[in-house]
Each structure stands twice: as C-alpha cells, then as structure tokens.
Structure 1
C-alpha cells in the first residue's frame, strides 16, 4: 500500500519546521526592507539605503538558500554536473508554491509604492511614457527641447530628469512599457511599480516552470525571487532590467521545441537591454542548421517589429544617446580599467573593446556546457570588459545563474552593491568613483567565485572521463 512521503509524524514535523524556517527568513527580509525604506531614521542614509538594505537582507537570504538546499536537495548547486538527460520534476505542492511566490511578493510589497529611491532613471521612464501618450516619438526630441516645452510645464518629474539635453537611450520594448506605465499611473511611479510587480511574478512562475521541466530543484527559483539584488536594485530602484528577466526565462523555456519563438523572446529582451543579444550565439549554436536559422530569424523579426512604431525618426536618432553612452560613460568597470589605462590614447579603443566583447561572447558560446551556462558566459563577457557596470545591470546574470545554482548568485547582491559606496566617495572628494578598496573587494569576490565554479566544472569533467 503506498505511503505518503510525509505520512510519518516525524517527517511531517520536519517539513513543517522547514516551511516555518523559510517563512521566518522571508519575513525577516521583508521587515528589513520595510524598515530601511519606510522608517524616518533611515532617511538620512539617502542613496546609501540600497546598500544598507542589501547587506542587512543578505544574511537571511543566504540562510533561506541553505534551508532550500535541505528542502530541495541540489538547490544551491554546489555539485557541478552536466545535465545529459532532462527528466521533468514533480510540481510543487500548494504550500511550497505559496512560500516561494508569496515570499517574493511580500518582500516587494513591503517597499513604499510611490517612492523613487537612489536612482533618477524612473523620472525619464515616466517622461518618455508621457511624451508617447501625447502622440510624440520619444526618440525625436530631448526633454529640454522647445518642441516639448508645453509637456514639461508644471511636470514635477521634469526637473529631476538626468541629462535633459539628451534624447532617450532606452530601447523600443522598454518604451512601450513606459507608455503603459504612464497611462496607468500618470506622473507617478505607481503604474511603473504595477508593471514591475507583474513582470517579477511572471519571472518567478516561468523560472519554476523551467526548473520543473529540466528536472532541477525548485529551490533555485528562490535564488532569484528572494534575491536582494532583484528586490532592491530592480524593484525598489525602479530599474528596467526587471522587465527583461521573464523574456530570458521564456527564451530558455522555448529553446528546445520552439527555436523561432525562443529567438523572438531573446529579441524582446534585447529591446529592453541590448546586452542580452550577446546570449544569442549560445541560444543558436549546437543545434541543427535549420533551427539556428529559426532562432536568428525570430530574434531579428522581434527586434524589427518592436522598433517599427518608432522608426520614422530614423536609426541615427534612435541610437544617438546609446552611442554617446557607449563611447563616453564609465563607472565600476573591472577589466576595462586595465585596458583603459593601457590603451585609452588609442583612437579606436572603444570600438575595438566592443569588438573584443563580441568575440569573447561568441567564443563562450562554443564551450561545451549547458545552454543556460553558455548564455551566462556570453552576456557575462560584456560585464567583465564593460566600462559601465551598475549593480542593476547584473539582473540578467542573476537570473541565468539562478538556473545553474552555486554560491555566485547568492553572494552577487552583497558584492556588486558595494558600488553604491560611490555616494560616500563622491560626497567626500567630489569624484564619481567607487572607492578602490570597495572595488577590489567587489571584483576579487566575484571573480574568485567564478574561478571556483570553473575549477569545479573541469574537475567534474575529468572525473567523468576517468570513470
């Protein structure tokens, strides 16, 4: 006669204790966020609230991941194995689903719904949406253009927009969401928060579906859903990278059976943050040539279709600010600083740098590892060499590495958010640079974890060949 997995009182008691322990960790994170962003005593921290919230929440988050490892063995992914055969895992029961998804929602709802914290990007998002609602093309004029003077009059967000002399830098799919956010909430971040929350919910559900289909532990969904990087830099910081995550998961989910739509999903993510296009070779290679063409076709069609509503101003106007950003901006880079110190006097340095990034991404797609790992390496090559690496840019890396597991995505929030110490250094010395000790700690930690992961991977390959 079959016996329920939790039929014995001892097993039921252990499961209840495990669920309650996870809930405690999740509620602790939520209380940290509520305290840091809502209590007046923390307001004096100003833009450093993101760093404080991340560091305080990192301990209960890490403990939650360890508990998930006990609840769903393999969630942390410390053992590196090639997934030769994907056997779908059983669905989560209602209690587990409620804990994982409910915890993610509670953490985000603990944050103030109308606040703009640490970053002024949200002001530009809402402005771009307002311009579109007025029937204008957001790529046609900079916010301080006389053509938009009537829209700017009396707008409380307009004076807070960064670089009002520049056209928008944000790609077409992001613009469509900005337009919808303005229609929902007007000149406030309420509409934006609503869209972000729905995207976060979609991300968690798609990740759970992906993990189940690939036979991976459901606890890995917690690595993204409860991550302080996603909650603080993505949701609290009102950053558009939150919008691209579900498209990345959808691209992976459709990769095996629907290559065309998988490529289209990746194209959609690139129309929010173009760097995700570097995951394209990993998605397209190591498959029949017909499927490679379908992936590429889906990607190009999605990019073209999403750009079409804005194409009347021409490609030059649509990419003007993006090109300026790529040529002149720099912040929190790692390997870029070495290259810049050696080659910054060489006129074609930046174009050569981006060409090198493209080649590194293509080379990483040829490594014989799982597709999600190759995509992580392809996109990660950009961030290793990029001149500008804000913490929220790494949401795509967090999402993809959550599928693989390991210590890297768990430590990533605390390490990358050390870049926020720029606010201390900037206030003290008038510079916009991350303090050197913080920069060293940030990248020695991140590259050290990557190196350990690679060593574990090659050891696993050696053991496979030995036996």
Structure 2
C-alpha cells in the first residue's frame, strides 16, 4: 500500500498534464483511498505516519507545480524585491516596458508563465509572503527550479510545525492525536500546498500556533503570531470579531442570569458582554493590528494602498470560479437583469458574510478554545459558500480547522474540490457547472447530515 501510494504520487508529480482530467481524477481518488486506509490501519503509529507524510512530500521536490502557475508570480515578486523594487507599486506588464526589465533574470519566461491575468494586475500577496519570495530571489536569482525548492522548504517547515503543534493542541483538547493526519496525510494538502506551492499551510501553521498559545494563556504572543498569519494571507482578519467572548470571566451566562434575575435573550447577551475583559480583548486586537501594520510599513507609500486594495477588490467584483451560492445568484441576475451582476453581488455578499461573523461573535459561546475553533470553521465556510471565487486550495484552511472539531464535511470537501480542475480540460477553461453543482450538493448535504443526524453519521473510521 505504501509503495503503491508512492507510485501514484510520482505519476501525479512527473507524468500528468492538468488538461487530462480523467487521469487527474483517477489518480486523486486512488490516493485519497490509500491515504484513508493508511490512517485507518496505522493511526496508533504516529511517527510511522509522519514518516509517510514526509516521504510523499519529498517525491515532489524535483517537480515543477502541475496544477497551478501562481509560482511564477511568486518568483517574480521575490526577484524584483531582491532588486530593490517595491512589488506593490507596479504590475509585471508595466515593469516589462521600462528599464527595470533588464535587471530581472528570466523576466520574459516568468511573465509568460504567470499568464496575462496575473501579469496585468498588482500583487495581492501580504508582506510575510513577500519576505519568503524575496529569500528565494536573493538565493536563486537565475534558476526557476531552485526558487521552487526554496518555497517548498518553507512549506515543509510549516507542515512539520502543524504536525507538532497540532498534535499538542489535540492532546490538550482531549481529542485523538491521529486526527492531525486528516490534514498532514491528506492528498489534497500534499498536492495543493507542497506540490502546487500554495502558502495556505504556512498561514495555517501560525493559526494553529495561535490556538496553542491561547491554550497556554499566552495571549500577547498569540496575538503577535495571529498578526503574522494575517501577513501571510489576509484571511485571518475575518476571525478577529470571534474573540469577543473568549476574553471573559468564563463564568456561565446562566449563573449570571440567575444571580441577576435576568430572563430575556437580550439580557443574556448583555450579561455576556459585561463579563468580557475589555482591557485584554482590546490589547489582543492592538497587538494583532500593530503586527500587521509594522509588516506592511516597509512597503508603504502614497500608491500602495490604492494598488493593493484594487488587487484585493478584483477577487470580489471581477473574478468568478467554483462558486456555489453566487452562481445561483448570477443565474437569477441573468434572468432578471439580462447580464452578469457580479459587480453588485461582489459588494453585497461580503456584507452578508460580515453579518454572519458578527452573529457568531455575539450569539456563540466562544469562551472555550473548542467553541472558538468551531466558530472559526463555520465563519470561513460561510465566507467561501458566499464567495465569487473558491480556488480548490482555499479549502486547506477549513480542512485544518475541522481536525480540532467533530465535523468531517471539510474532508469531504477536500475530496470533492478536485472536480473544479475539470475546467482545465477545456481550452477556454470553461467550468462544467454540473460538476460544480455535484461538488457543493455533496458537501452541503454531508454538512446538514452531520448537523441533524450526527448519531447516524458517526463513522468510526473518521474518528
């Protein structure tokens, strides 16, 4: 079984064209099944599974990413930063037209590799990501392959950190430690993060380290680490409101209600808010935001904010891929308006997400770490279900969070997300909306089953 898995990963890394979707899907299904069996059979052999996870990653070390071309942009940003050029101030297309073009090694190859869409837009990668890119630019100025290896070393360190601190966190939460392998040994994570060079696992490491530090009641260090995670990917910013009740007296709201004679639901909320340690909460927020601001400070000038916000805004109002609820809204828009309403939907859907986050912040308990992690999970899932663009590697974060909860639908999502790659089988990258519908019907169906029929859906193999 172990050697069969190695052979399949080898084929995935070195003998796969992303346009060959039948082969891609077949390899992925086989890898998912074999990984499932490995965890099932060896879940008491922690370090044996850890060794398998390392072996499967090492297979990719000599391969260029198969399913994504984003790494060309990473190398580009790193090389221009290594040449003293602020990556936030110009697009690759514009730099190619001026004198700076000559100082960037393999510039034409990098711009061609990243594609016209990336080359015509400003970078949207935060400072810690840029720092990693820059290290690659300094150490590997003229070799694309060497740059890829450097990126993989960072991701490998992050994965190893998730393994160690994830195991410690599971123990402290009285959860089975082998559950961490539903992330570490998941083919989805190995392929998307280590294989395709997406840095969600680097962000994920800092999120897990934040949880671990909070469990140890080291909230200042936890805030600093959470700030670093934001500077890897902006995504963790949405989690900040969820800490509202975490820094509280921990006293049971029912006791407060009983002591004060309060009965109305609004009174429960008020009682909860009064129990919040506002000094610690605001201090936590201050450390997080200060860390983020300081990380951006070296890149700041008058054009930075407009360029960066323009780039981030494109994901909400211009791009669409593998969406769920948005595609239904888009269809309704075509029936009613006669055109694509993404510009309007891209403004409204984030506001709905914000209301959901605020609702979870106010109405969820979130006083224990388990409850907080659960709120993180449902927040990010709500965000993705309402997003206009959901690239498959985005699912890495809910998958990681689910390891520390009783929910397994993100594991199902990590399996179903491979269907989105069917778009590459089409020369025009046209999505098969039937496959998109199947993906989300299965995922949402499994989620609802876990919520409403948990006893009937208790799979011992996933526990």
- Normalising by structure 1, report the TM-score: 0.80
1:167-182 aligned at under 5 Å gives the runs: 167-182=122-137
In 1: Cα distance, 2:417 partner to 2:454 partner = 24
> Which residue of structure 1 aligns with residue 430 of structure 2?
432
Contact 2:79 2:136 in 1 (8 A): no
1:117-147 CA deviation, whole Å, 9 max, x = no partner? 1211000000000011001100011112234
1:356-398 CA deviation, whole Å, 9 max, x = no partner? 1111122234324611111111111110100000110111111
Shift, 1:318, TM fit? 2.5
1:75-94 aligned at under 5 Å gives the runs: none
Call closer, same or farther: CA 1:105–1:279 in 2, change over 3 Å.
Answer: same
Identify which range, 282-291 or 266-275, moves more after superposition. Answer: 282-291
Call closer, same or farther: CA 1:205–1:354 in 2, change over 3 Å.
Answer: same
1:66-465 aligned at under 5 Å gives the runs: 66-67=40-41, 71=44, 96-145=45-94, 146-147=97-98, 148-152=100-104, 154-155=106-107, 156-162=109-115, 163=117, 164-186=119-141, 187-188=143-144, 189-256=148-215, 257-288=217-248, 289=277, 290-312=279-301, 313-343=303-333, 345=341, 348-365=344-361, 366-368=363-365, 370-424=371-425, 426-427=426-427, 430=428, 432-433=430-431, 435-456=432-453
Contact 2:42 2:49 in 1 (8 A): no
In 1: Cα distance, 2:416 partner to 2:18 partner = 23
Call closer, same or farther: CA 1:106–1:154 in 2, change over 3 Å.
Answer: closer
Call closer, same or farther: CA 1:260–1:359 in 2, change over 3 Å.
Answer: farther
Contact 1:284 1:295 in 2 (8 A): no
**1:64 correspondence with 2:38:** yes
| Consecutive unaligned residues in structure 1, runs of 5 or more | 1-23, 72-95, 461-467
Call closer, same or farther: CA 1:340–1:264 in 2, change over 3 Å.
Answer: farther
Shift, 1:45, TM fit? 5.4
Shift, 1:216, TM fit? 1.4
Shift, 1:304, TM fit? 0.7
3-state secondary structure, aligned to 1:261: helix
Shift, 1:299, TM fit? 1.8
In 2: Cα distance, 1:48 partner to 1:241 partner = 27
Contact 2:239 2:376 in 1 (8 A): yes
Q: How many residues align?
A: 405
Contact 2:61 2:152 in 1 (8 A): no
Contact 2:158 2:201 in 1 (8 A): yes
Call closer, same or farther: CA 1:266–1:379 in 2, change over 3 Å.
Answer: farther
In 1: Cα distance, 2:137 partner to 2:243 partner = 34
Shift, 1:446, TM fit? 0.8
3-state secondary structure, aligned to 1:388: coil
| Consecutive unaligned residues in structure 2, runs of 5 or more | 249-276, 334-339, 458-463
In 1: Cα distance, 2:85 partner to 2:342 partner = 40
Call closer, same or farther: CA 1:409–1:352 in 2, change over 3 Å.
Answer: closer
Shift, 1:48, TM fit? 7.0
Call closer, same or farther: CA 1:185–1:208 in 2, change over 3 Å.
Answer: farther
Alignment root-mean-square deviation, CA: 2.5
Call closer, same or farther: CA 1:405–1:179 in 2, change over 3 Å.
Answer: farther
**1:29 correspondence with 2:31:** no
Call closer, same or farther: CA 1:52–1:260 in 2, change over 3 Å.
Answer: farther
Contact 1:261 1:295 in 2 (8 A): no
3-state secondary structure, aligned to 2:125: coil
Contact 1:139 1:318 in 2 (8 A): yes
Identify which range, 262-271 or 297-306, moves more after superposition. Answer: 262-271
Contact 1:255 1:283 in 2 (8 A): no
3-state secondary structure, aligned to 2:60: coil
- Normalising by structure 2, report the TM-score: 0.81
1:230-266 CA deviation, whole Å, 9 max, x = no partner? 1111211111223211011012112240223323322
Shift, 1:108, TM fit? 0.5
Contact 2:219 2:284 in 1 (8 A): yes
